[in-house]
Amino acid sequence: MRVRETHLLLSEGMRGGKTSGRICGVSSVESGFLYQCTPCISSFDDKDLAPVMVFIEYLICLEGPFWKQIRGQGLSYSYGITVRPDEGLLYFSLFKSTNVPAAYSKAEDIVKGYISGSTPLEQVMLDTAVSTCVYNVVSRESTPGLTAGQKRFISCVVSCVKREYRHARGNAKLPANLSVCSCDGGKAAWARRARVKAESFAE
């Protein structure tokens, strides 16, 4: 059975662009919070996904437009924009805002300024945004060394497997240089040697 994509489960009203929301007052909280979503890209193969991701990173990066004009002016402590193709939604959030309407209006003005072309893009910040997006995608992928190290850590430190242990699959003896822990101790030594090996891999 094929798994239905999340965005297909949205209500007809949401897919049609109709807006709705809830305002909740909490007397014990002095700051304001906003969480808003709108229909957006619904496929990872969409050609517009990469430009949208770069534009979002450009807006929310450190010392970027949102940082200077929203946080810098004390309108909101934090903010965020996230695109989720699996859900077919684009999220915008404000966290610990002193003035939600003013922060929202400022964010809207910033975005419209870049879209209309009245606010020019800075090449250095654009290159940084591209690099950050590439790094965020690549960093989520495990490398063989990282995966092997994680499994050995779980086996030696968490499960406390001895060096003579043989895997049930293949019945192959573990390499001696990867087995340094036993049930009666040696965890500190294992940690030191693991750190040295990690540093050698990094080099």
**Looking at residue 160, what is its pLDDT?**
58
Domains of the chain, start order: 6-139 (3.30.830.10), 144-202 (no CATH)
Is residue 38 scored above 50 in pLDDT? yes
Better pLDDT: 18 or 94: 94
Which residues of the chain form beta strands (DSSP E)?
A: 32-39, 76-84, 89-97
* Token code pair at residue 193: 């040697």
- Half-sphere exposure of 28 toward its Cβ, with a 13 Å CA cutoff? 0
What lies within 8 Å, CB to CB, of 149 at 6+ separation is 194, 197, 198, 201
Task: Compute the average pLDDT of residues 91-95.
Answer: 94
φ, ψ for residue 39, nearest 5 deg: -55, 140
Q: Which 8-state DSSP code applies to residue 161?
A: -
- pLDDT score for 115: 92
Residue 140 pLDDT exceeds 80: no
SS3 at position 182: strand
pLDDT at 170: 46
User: What's the confidence (pLDDT) of residue 183?
Assistant: 43
The 10s digit of each residue's pLDDT in 46-76 is: 899 999 999 999 999 988 999 999 999 999 9
3-state DSSP assignment of residue 166: strand
Q: How far is CA 145 from CA 136, 199, 200, in A?
A: 19, 12, 11
